[in-house]
Chain A
Amino acid sequence: MTETSTSRSAELTLLVAGESSASRSARATLDALIGDGLAEASQVRVIDVLQQPDFALRYKVYFTPSLIVETSTTTTTIVGDLHEVDEVKSLLAAA
Chain B
Amino acid sequence: MDEQPQFHEVEARSVLETGIVGLDHITGGGLPRGRVISIFGAAGAGKTVLGLQILAHRVSAGERAVFISFEQTADSVLEDMAGFSWGADGFAEDELIVLETGVPTDLHVSGRFDMQGLIATLLAVTDASGATIVMLDGLNALLSLLLEEADERRELLRLTDWVRSQGLTVLITAKASAENERARTRAEILDYQTDCVLVLDRLQTGNAISRTLQVTKYRGAAHIGHIVPVVMTNNGVEVVIAGGLASETLAPGAPASRPDQRMPTGVEELDPLLGGGYLVGSRTLLSGAPGTSKSTLAAAFSLAVVQDGGRVLYVSFDEVRAQLELHTASVGYSFREPLENGSLRILEESASGGTPEESALRIVRAVDDLGANAVVIDPVSALTGSGHPFADEALSYLLTSLSQRGVTVLLTSLLHGAATVDEATKSNISTIADNWIHLTYIANGGERNRALTIVKSRATAHTNQVRELVITSEGIELRPAYVADGDVLLGSARAQKEEQDRTEAWLRAVEYERGEAEILASMAELEGRISGLGNEVDLRRRDLERLRTTRDGALERTATALEARVAARRSGNLANDGDLANDGEGAHE
Contacts and interface: CB of A to CB of B under 8 A. Distances in A.
B110 interface: yes
Interface in A18-48: 18, 20, 22, 25-26
Interface stretch (B118-126, B365-373, B535-543): B118-126
B136 to A, nearest CB: 10
Contacts, number: 103
B160 to A, nearest CB: 15
A79 B117 CA distance: 11
Interface residues of A, number: 34
A53 to B, nearest CB: 3
Interface residues of B, number: 25
Interface in B2-55: none
B123 A77 contact: no
A29 to B, nearest CB: 9
A62 B108 contact: no
B551 interface: no
A62 B68 CA distance: 12
B483 interface: no
Nearest to B146: A63
B114 A53 contact: no
Interface string B242-280: 000000000000000000000000000000000000000
A17 B110 contact: no
Contacts of A60: 101-102, 104, 121
Interface string A59-94: 011111110000000001111111110011001001
B42 to A, nearest CB: 25
A7 B121 CA distance: 28
Nearest to B106: A76
Contact of A62 (B110, B111, B121): B121
Given A76-B106, A79-B107, A57 B121 contact: yes
Chain A CB within 10 Å, residue with most, of B114, B120, B124: B120
Contacts of B124: 53-54, 56-57
Contact of A17 (B109, B111, B116): B116
Contacts of B108: 76-79, 91, 94
Interface string A1-24: 000000000000001011010100
Q: Which 6 A-B pairs have the closest CB atoms?
A: A17-B116, A80-B111, A53-B124, A49-B120, A56-B120, A81-B111
